Chain A
Amino acid sequence: MNRSYQDSVHLYGRVWTATAIFLLLMVPTSICVRYNAWPEAQYVLKGLLGVAPIYWTVCIIEVLTYAPMLGTGGTYLSFVTGNLTNLKVPCALNAMEAAGVKATSEEGEVISTIAIAASSIVTTLVIAAGVLMLGYLQPILESPALAPAFANILPALFGGLGVVYISKNPKIALAPLAFMVILFLLAPSLSSSVGILVPVGALIAIGVSRVLYKKNML
């Protein structure tokens, strides 16, 4: 892979990310300054104690899991724009598959970045337009008739994506798929922490494929 392109993506990626962190921290700071409303530390700590142990772990796991899949530019961008599992990662996978490029190639890197950038722009614009037209849209979006469609986004997404990848790699897919189906049948409450199970599935798949690869079965 061309080093200068990679280096330049890292350089600009770091500048954009550092600016994003500064802006993100400035939001609550500016609220405090504008309204002279610095919060009591105990409430912030209580709130953080409720979410940080889980979400800090998930954040770190997500970076380690998704960075290799998304490529350099895609990672810098998607970790600022958020909504990874339900949007950015499937979007990047689909784009690379449709363009016929491998995630390990530089072509895969740029296609992934293009897909994530386009997805981020559209998502941001749709949310912004939705907020501005909320008076008109809210009754439609919250109508009981449409509720099943929005409740089933993940099955609709992973059904289509899954059939492509599983049919291409059935030998690798079998073990993690069987493990996850059995796990969720035994412990349905785990569906609220599916993010933590993604690296578990990945480790099982990598372990099985390593064994099959060593035995020349892949």
Chain B
Amino acid sequence: MDFSVNSGFLYAVTALVVVFVLAQSAFFLVKAARRARQLGITGQTIRKTVLSSALFSVAPAVAILLGVITLSKFLGLPLPWLRLSVLGALTYELPAATTTATAMNLSLSQPIADARAFSAIAWVMTLGIIPGIFLVLFGLKKIQGGVMSIKTKDPKWGNIFMDSMFLGMISAFVGMLFADIRSGVPGLIPIVVALISAAIMGVCGILIKKCNVRWLEQYALPISMLGAMAASIPVTMLMG
């Protein structure tokens, strides 16, 4: 059987997995929306949550598509499409693929022609990231049980505990913005972009609270993110 990184077979396998992901997402969406209605959450809030999350996801999804394009130069389109639609992230998939390709002395500038080399890369990309999902399968109930006991023992501390976890994550990513500061003015670009995003969010907050523009509540983050991304183009021209 002739092998190609863009064969119809690989597209068919990828399409099957992509349909599975869509089905799983739709299942949980319907299940959670039904429960939300039982809990008294209005249909309007559910719709706004769906729309705002959808809008928020477009720009990062396009960035993931850029990752697919990056990997497609030597892996073809179907495998990167599959790996970045399920479980993966470019920060993992690229090192996994390049490490294996390098071990086999393969060029990363042209499509892989050897099926055995391709399957070795596919195995490494799969096995290298699978422990997390196994832990979710066998350990999530126990983890959530621990979280539940914190919540029920002392509800006030439970809320503070969760806020602390969120702030721990946000701190790591905000701190990362300062990583390139020693490279001079261009190293300040991420900080300026983050400040623009924060400023847009601040304006949205004023509009929501002072001017009662309630619909903005759901869309403030997507607007801030897209606005700051657009602003990063002239900012980079000026500071880059």
Contact A43 B120 (CB under 8 A): yes
Instruction: Determine the main DSSP class of B at the interface with A.
Output: helix
When chains A and B are docked, how far (Å) is the Cα of A185 from the Cα of B198?
Answer: 21
Contact A18 B22 (CB under 8 A): no
Size bin of chain B's contact surface: 35 or more
Residues of B within 8 A of A141 (CB): 62, 65-66, 69
Contact A16 B27 (CB under 8 A): yes
Interface residues of B in 85-134 (CB under 8 A from A): 85-89, 91-92, 95-96, 99-100, 103-104, 114-124, 126-134
A55 to chain B, nearest CB (A): 5
A198 to chain B, nearest CB (A): 5
B50 on interface, CB distance cutoff 8 Å? yes
Contact B171 A63 (CB under 8 A): no
A87 to chain B, nearest CB (A): 5
Contact A160 B168 (CB under 8 A): no
The digit string for B176-215, where 1 denotes a CB below 8 A from any CB of A, is: 1111111000000111011111101110010000000000
| Known contacts A63-B135, A69-B165; A200 and B140 CB within 8 A of each other | no
Contact B50 A165 (CB under 8 A): no
Contact B128 A67 (CB under 8 A): no
| Known contacts A154-B176, A213-B160; A162 and B182 CB within 8 A of each other | no
Contact A159 B198 (CB under 8 A): yes
| Known contacts A152-B193, A202-B165; A177 and B175 CB within 8 A of each other | yes
Residues of A within 8 A of B65 (CB): 126-127, 130-131, 137, 141
Residues of A within 8 A of B158 (CB): 104
Size bin of chain A's contact surface: 35 or more
Contact B57 A119 (CB under 8 A): yes
A5 on interface, CB distance cutoff 8 Å? yes
Residues of B within 8 A of A51 (CB): 92, 95-96, 99, 124, 128
When chains A and B are docked, how far (Å) is the Cα of A161 from the Cα of B174?
Answer: 10
**Most A CB within 10 A of own CB, among B56, B132, B171:** B171
B139 to chain A, nearest CB (A): 7
The digit string for A161-179, where 1 denotes a CB below 8 A from any CB of B, is: 1111110110011001101
B107 to chain A, nearest CB (A): 15
Interface residues of A in 22-72 (CB under 8 A from B): 23-25, 27-28, 30-32, 34-40, 43-44, 46-48, 50-52, 55-56, 58-60, 62-65, 67-69, 72
Interface residues of B in 138-171 (CB under 8 A from A): 139-141, 143-144, 147-148, 151, 155-171
| Known contacts A39-B120, A64-B143, A127-B65; A31 and B49 CB within 8 A of each other | no
Residues of B within 8 A of A213 (CB): 156-157, 160
Interface residues of A in 82-141 (CB under 8 A from B): 82-87, 89-91, 93-95, 98-99, 101-104, 106-107, 109-111, 113-128, 130-131, 134, 137-138, 141
A154 to chain B, nearest CB (A): 6
Contact B224 A159 (CB under 8 A): yes
The digit string for A133-156, where 1 denotes a CB below 8 A from any CB of B, is: 010011001100110111111111
A206 to chain B, nearest CB (A): 4
| Known contacts A37-B3, A127-B84; A209 and B161 CB within 8 A of each other | yes
When chains A and B are docked, how far (Å) is the Cα of A121 from the Cα of B18?
Answer: 10
Closest to B69 in A: A138
Contact B130 A24 (CB under 8 A): yes
Q: Which of these, B35, B82, B103, B179, contacts A188 with CB under 8 Å?
A: B179
Q: Which of these, A67, A124, A205, contacts B168 with CB under 8 Å?
A: A205
Closest to B17 in A: A23
Contact A121 B22 (CB under 8 A): yes
Contact B144 A176 (CB under 8 A): no
Contact A124 B233 (CB under 8 A): no
Contact A17 B194 (CB under 8 A): no
When chains A and B are docked, how far (Å) is the Cα of A118 from the Cα of B62?
Answer: 16
- Taking A38-B116, A157-B173, A218-B160 as known contacts, 7 extra A-B pairs with beta carbons closer than 8 A to each other, sorted by chain A number, are A47-B96, A59-B135, A79-B87, A79-B136, A148-B240, A156-B232, A206-B165
- 13 pairs of residues in contact across A and B, judged by CB atoms under 8 Å: A1-B148, A68-B144, A87-B60, A115-B52, A126-B57, A127-B61, A148-B236, A151-B232, A152-B236, A155-B177, A155-B232, A160-B198, A169-B167
